[in-house]
């Protein structure tokens, strides 16, 4: 059986996994510039505004416990595709919300789905490569991930200035729909199921 342990996977796989890792920072930090507008439009109290972040983190943390086992049982690609698809739908739902209750529901769904790409992305690296090559890929992902908290508020402020807080959610969904399209393509190199350095994943 051919081994991928010493071969280098396609370059775009590292950027795809980094894109998954950016779900969290962008879903949290890009929202902050829109808080005043959300509060004014939806008549939300400061306490309710805090729940926009809190309920997202609750969903993210709780589902992070099951994304790994689900990907082992049903396959990496399936979990990545479905979680990303749900995230994109939740982003559109949040953008179309006309009440604080609906917004919080969609934020919870965002949080539950965002962990899929983050958790499974790390597993994909371990599936595809090992040793120094795995360390190199993880370093690339972490470098992009580390820049996200700095970029997200700037992007959020720009988008809020252009089209309001709803555009932030729409842009987030649009951005990660590209990850969805790439992970679903045959050439994405995202393995269908758990494996160890095998080209038959």
Span 68-114, pLDDT tens digits: 888 888 888 888 888 889 999 999 999 999 999 999 999 999 999 88
**What is the mean pLDDT of the segment spanning 168-182?**
82
Which two tokens mark 55? 């309920």
Res 184: pLDDT: 59
Q: Which of 46-60, 92-106, 113-127 has the lowest mean pLDDT?
A: 113-127
Of residues 10, 14, 168, 23, the one with CA closest to residue 83: 23
CA distance 74 to 109: 21
Res 194: pLDDT: 54
Q: Which residue has the higher pLDDT, 17 or 35?
A: 35
Res 200: pLDDT: 41
Task: Label residues 11-38 b or e (16+ Cβ within 10 Å = b).
Answer: eebbebbbbbbbbbbbbbbbbbbbbeeb
Task: Label residues 60-82 b or e (16+ Cβ within 10 Å = b).
Answer: beebbeebbebbeeebbbbbbbe
**What is the mean pLDDT of the segment spanning 156-162?**
93
Per the CB < 8 A criterion, the answer to whether 33 and 153 are in contact is yes
- Indicate whether 145 pLDDT > 70: yes
Average pLDDT, the chain: 82
Res 191: pLDDT: 55
Q: Could you tell me which CATH class the domain 12-184 is placed in?
A: mainly alpha
Which two tokens mark 167? 């555009």
Res 2: pLDDT: 43
CA distance 124 to 129: 9
Structure confidence by residue, pLDDT tens digits, 11-21: 667 777 877 77
Per the CB < 8 A criterion, the answer to whether 13 and 20 are in contact is no
């Amino acid at each position: 059986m051919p081994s991928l342990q010493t071969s280098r996977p396609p370059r775009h796989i590292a950027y795809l996994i980094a894109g998954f890792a950016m779900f969290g920072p962008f879903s949290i930090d890009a929202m902050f510039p829109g808080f005043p507008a959300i509060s004014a439009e939806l008549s939300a109290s400061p306490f309710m505004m805090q729940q926009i972040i809190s309920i997202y983190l609750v969903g993210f943390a709780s589902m992070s416990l099951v994304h790994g086992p689900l990907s082992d049982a049903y396959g990496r690609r399936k979990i990545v595709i479905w979680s990303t698809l749900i995230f994109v739908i939740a982003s559109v739902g949040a953008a179309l919300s006309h009440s604080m209750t609906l917004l919080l529901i969609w934020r919870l769904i965002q949080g539950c789905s965002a962990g899929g790409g983050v958790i499974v992305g790390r597993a994909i690296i371990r599936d595809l490569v090992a040793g120094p090559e795995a360390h190199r890929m993880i370093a690339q992902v972490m470098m992009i991930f580390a820049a996200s908290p700095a970029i997200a508020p700037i992007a959020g402020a720009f988008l809020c200035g252009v089209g309001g807080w709803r555009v932030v959610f729409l842009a987030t969904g649009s951005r990660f729909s590209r990850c969805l399209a790439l992970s679903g393509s045959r050439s994405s190199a995202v393995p269908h199921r758990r494996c160890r350095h095998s080209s038959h994943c």
